[in-house]
Amino acid sequence: MKKYIYLIVLIISSFSPFAQTRVSGVIKTSNGKTIPGVNITLVNTYDGASTDTAGRFAFTTAETGTHMLHYVTIGFKPDSIAIILDGKPLNLSLIIKEAVSELNAVTITAGTIETGDAKKGAVLSSIDIATTAGAVADIVAALQTLPGTSQAFSENGLFVRGGSAAETRTYFDGMLVKSPFSSQLPDISSRSRFSPFLFKGTTFSSGGYSAQYGQALSSALLLETKDLAEKTSTEFSVLTVGFGAAHTERFENSSLTVGGVYYNLSPSYSVFKQNINWDKAPIEKTGNIQYKWKPTKSSMLKVFSQYSNNDVSLFADNPDSAGFIHVIDHNKNNYTNLTYQDYLNADWRIQAGASYSNTHESGRLDSNNFRKNDHLLQGRFTLTRYLGQRSLLRAGAEAYQNGALEGWNDQSRSFNDNLQAAFTEGEIFLSDNIVMRLGGRAEHSSYLGDWNLAPRTSLAVKTGTHSQVSMAYGIFYQNPDDTYLLQSHQLGYEKATHYLLNYQYLTSGLTFRVEAFYKQYADLTKYDYDGFPKTYAVNNYSNLFNGGDGYAKGIDVFWRDKQSIPGGDYYISYSYLDTKRDFRNYPIQATPPFAAKHTLNVVYKQYIPAIKSELSTAYAFSSGRTYYNPNNPDFLSDKTKAYNNLSMNLSYLTRLFKQFAVVYVSVNNIPGFNNVYGYNYPSNGSIREPIYPAAKRNYLFGLLVTIGDNTFNH
């Protein structure tokens, strides 16, 4: 019995505060800096302390035996050591290592500019995109203020580093968008179909992008839609060009938004002088539905469906007859996208998606009827395996069913292509300061009857707390434009090879990036055609083949300062581009009209509390572009004068009927620069007709009201 009592006493004593051990010490970084506020914990007990301003700590504990002492604080790596508690005071000298935070972590930045609200390294937030002066809430127009892009003058699209508009592809939650713009009209570009308010983030890649994205020679524009709407609310907008409404209903784990816009530009065009001879100014009707469902914390289902209908009619210059061509154009587009993602556990993530789109464009050129239809059905599946804290392996597969039809009066031609793709890549952190991405993509197109295999790699190395150098190399393939595939079954993939070198300095207030690039083109589509083809018409080409080539090289610079001006924020982007290419019906390698040698953008935003307004100003400069002059034996050697534009937006925040409201005024080309986009010649070259912007100066007034949400939302 006595034996037991001793044992019991012994057991109890181990829980009682008889044997106290004093643990003290100091915590420093490896270069001797003391750190205050470090939390020191004896694991599985409450015992511990915080370091004082001299990095010292002390506590006593009743525990005995071997224990782990854990120490952690923000900005440093959690660490622990084993200590033996036996009543003798312990004096420790501990080293704590700096942790890698999101902002100072090494990331692959070559070719990539992220925008969005969640990422700290983001260059522009979604509100920046919506309020960039002169962009009138058009994503693509706002992106034209970023380095690497050229001003799109009269052609639809985003022109990146000497690439044509077709070389930039848009991805909506990872799914390829077949026709992100409405119809191309004669010498007039149209807006992109998607509202910037749909998206929480945009990644704009001007080269060297991941193997996840295929079918893009020059650039990938990745749009990521918002998650669940926070609240039930209703919004109305009234603009000089039309009106819109949207209602959002928030449920427990899901939200549903139904909205639509009606734009009719004729009232505005009748007041503000137009350079275009409109018969019926553009009318746009768009309706969309968004459904977001978050069944569990880690998963998300997103459904988006949009229908848009555009009608326009105008008289376009016809230099050949010294008269006009009457152009009537109807464009109907359906776009539906469904994506789902889930983290199976901490290590595995799945993403799946399906999308379908079709476009029916029809109209008349004088007495001739034309049709242009296209469709794309896509399925996609991606599996990601996370390795350790930051590294990952990713693999996925895609299938596309893609086709188009072109009709001219009674005749028509069409093609259908089934394209399968598989990709895999790894993002591996070789150390805290070095990350490497290595991957590849394989595609097979039934219509081209061929395979391609595209290796992609990037490497980023940290050079300081806020700076890093990164580089990228990759091969990119794209099917020739629908227009060419419709006319030839003999074509193969077009190819580009990218080399990028990038330096970035990033703090929360300042961003500086400079990037040098070299891009080599091969197998671009060539054909025979008299004159300089216009992209809006239905043209017949002959002898199509993959004989073209070219190059683009240059330097892009970006500087953004959010900290020096209270309430203000500005950025400057500059691009130098040297490019020549032999494609289409070019007789030699020449600089295409869509490439400018120098492009400069300065964007400045200032919130002025006194008038409760945000003022946004944007200046754009673009050096002269080449244009086709049939009288000049040197092909594309004439240049327009430089382009200048100064735009302003004023957003006045107020309340109307007790609801949050924004009054919006936007003016573009305030000084009235006489810009010329290029010249049209008749085939005999006798006279030239300048191509002017659709209007010398544009004005837009608007009012946005949000009901049911008393706070700033849009």
Partner 1 sequence: MKTLKLCIVLLIITFSVKAQNSDKYTAAMQKGMALIDSASTSEQFAAVANFFERIAASETKQWLPQYYAGFCNLHAAILGKQDSDTKDALYDKAMSYAEKADALKPANSEVLVLEGYITFMKMSVFSQQRAMTMIPKANALLEKALAIDPENPRAYLVKGQNTFYTPEAFGGGKAKAKDILTTAADKYKNQKASGFEPAWGARRCQALLQQCN
* Binding residues for partner 1 (CB under 8 A): 1, 4, 8, 11-12, 15, 36-37, 39, 41, 43-50, 53, 70, 74-75, 101, 103, 117, 120, 122, 125-128, 200, 230-231, 250, 508-509, 562, 569, 607, 609, 612, 653-655, 660, 709-714
Nearer to partner 1, 660 or 664 (CB): 660
What's the Cα-to-Cα distance from 90 to each of 29, 57, 58, 69, 108, rounded to whole Å? Answer: 20, 11, 9, 12, 45
Nearer to partner 1, 118 or 322 (CB): 118
Q: Shortest Cβ distance from residue 564 to partner 1 (Å)?
A: 14
Nearer to partner 1, 227 or 366 (CB): 227
Q: Shortest Cβ distance from residue 350 to partner 1 (Å)?
A: 23
Antiparallel, parallel or unpaired: β 21-28 and 90-95:
parallel
**Encoding tokens for residue 9?**
């006493």
Nearer to partner 1, 48 or 319 (CB): 48
Q: Shortest Cβ distance from residue 432 to partner 1 (Å)?
A: 17
Cβ atoms of 403 and 416 within 8 Å: the answer is yes
Q: Shortest Cβ distance from residue 9 to partner 1 (Å)?
A: 10
Q: Shortest Cβ distance from residue 503 to partner 1 (Å)?
A: 21
Q: Shortest Cβ distance from residue 47 to partner 1 (Å)?
A: 7
Q: Shortest Cβ distance from residue 230 to partner 1 (Å)?
A: 4
Q: Shortest Cβ distance from residue 93 to partner 1 (Å)?
A: 20
Nearer to partner 1, 475 or 653 (CB): 653
Nearer to partner 1, 18 or 699 (CB): 18
Beta carbons within 10 angstroms of residue 411's beta carbon: 8
Q: Is the dihedral of CA 10, 13, 15, 21 positive or negative?
A: negative
Q: Tell me the DSSP string of 171-182.
A: EETTEEES--B-
Nearer to partner 1, 250 or 326 (CB): 250
Nearer to partner 1, 126 or 573 (CB): 126
The residue written with tokens 């754009």 in the block is 620
d(CA 281, CA 270): 9
Number of residues in the chain: 714
294-301: which pairs have CB atoms within 8 A and are 24 or more residues apart? 294/227, 294/228, 294/253, 294/254, 295/253, 296/342, 298/342, 298/343, 299/340, 299/341, 299/342, 299/343, 300/227, 300/340, 300/341, 300/342, 301/338, 301/339, 301/340
Q: Shortest Cβ distance from residue 216 to partner 1 (Å)?
A: 28
d(CA 172, CA 353): 10
Which amino acid type is present at position 285?
A: K
Q: Shortest Cβ distance from residue 360 to partner 1 (Å)?
A: 36
Q: Shortest Cβ distance from residue 427 to partner 1 (Å)?
A: 23
581's CB contacts (< 8 A; 6+ apart) are 162, 521, 524, 548, 549, 550, 551, 552, 589, 590, 591, 592
Nearer to partner 1, 230 or 279 (CB): 230
Dihedrals φ, ψ of 677, to 5°? -85, -25
Nearer to partner 1, 16 or 66 (CB): 16
Closest C-alpha to 377, from 418, 405, 415, 421: 418
d(CA 153, CA 626): 12
Beta carbons within 10 angstroms of residue 527's beta carbon: 22
Nearer to partner 1, 127 or 516 (CB): 127
